[in-house]
Amino acid sequence: MQIITDPGQMQAIAEKMRLNRQLVGVVMTMGALHEGHLSLVKLARKSAGTVILTIFVNPRQFGPSEDLHRYPRPFEQDVALAKSADIDYLFAPEAGSIYPEHYQTTLECGALAERFEGEQRPGHFNGVATVVTKLFNITKPHTAIFGEKDAQQLAVIRQLVLDLNMDIAIVAAPIVREENGLAVSSRNVYLSSQERSAAGIIYQGICHAEKRIAAEEYNLQAIAAEITGMISSVPGFRPAYVSFVHEMTFEPAAIAEAGREYRLLLAVHVGGVRLIDNGKFRA
């Protein structure tokens, strides 16, 4: 595995691979690598001869009161983990080489980015879309793997690729969960051990939705209210949103129609940590 920090050097290597007709897959991360990231790498390997992993804590997707400065950056540990995974290049640029002095351009996402995470974190998806586009231009991949845990981010990136005619296949990787069902995330390290085990309630909420929909309860708003009640009953857990959306549009859905697909989106404050999760259902 070769570690590259210079965007120009990464771009030159990527260009050479393209000329040699090598299929390139990229997995973008903000580091603090975990099992979830490794599952993305495995998926990338299925369709690509060369796998590039990027580590970059993107300042432009954090709000002023968010955790940019305390975001975990265990770089040595990440390098060791990346070496043990099937990765060809680790691209880990400095912030100044991605956003040099006098940098000006930011992409603006549309309606898809305005609700849920977008509403709670103004400007977040514009920052994500901007860095993802820059990393696409630098790594020139044929395929890019993104985790389904960040379902809205995945939808925003699919829209970005479609809208800007990018010739890149976006592949969704299933959510990896801890034993109690908590979705694996770099931010789980912020939780106390008590909070971490109690956070299984979020997955229990998703399972509850699955059972209710399987029993042909189509009032999605009522199911979301039940799940909100379940989560709120855990001391210190405060749902920010629990809402069903149409799978294709991410428009809120109140009543399900048989045969259609929906996604339940959840964000929950646990102490000072915000956890997100989701589940997909067919009515």
Catalytic residues: 37
Contact 221, 229 (CB under 8 A): no
- Residues sharing a CB contact under 8 Å with residue 30, sequence separation 6 or more, in sequence order: 55, 56, 57, 58, 71, 186
Tell which one of 10, 30, 155, 224 touches ligand PAF (CB under 6 A): 30
- Scan residues 43-82 and list those touching ligand PAF (CB under 6 A): 58, 61
CA–CA distance, 131 with 106 (Å, rounded to integer)? 9
Of residues 88 and 150, the one with the C-beta less far from ligand PAF: 150
* Of 185 and 209, CB closest to ligand PAF: 185
**Least distance to ligand PAF from the beta carbon of 108, Å?**
16
Interaction with ligand PAF in 132-151: which residues (CB under 6 A)?
A: 132, 150
176 binds ligand PAF (CB under 6 A): no
Q: What distance in Å separates the CA atoms of residue 255 and residue 281, rounded to the nearest whole number?
A: 13
**Residues 6+ away with beta carbon under 8 Å from 149:** 36, 175, 176, 183, 184, 185, 276, 277, 278
Instruction: Note the Cα 256 to chain centre separation in Å.
Output: 26
Q: Which two tokens stand for residue 212?
A: 């209710």
Q: Which is nearer to ligand PAF, 62 or 262 (CB)?
A: 62
Contact with ligand PAF (CB under 6 A) among 13, 24, 26, 29: 29
| Min dist. Cβ of residue 101 to ligand PAF (A) | 21
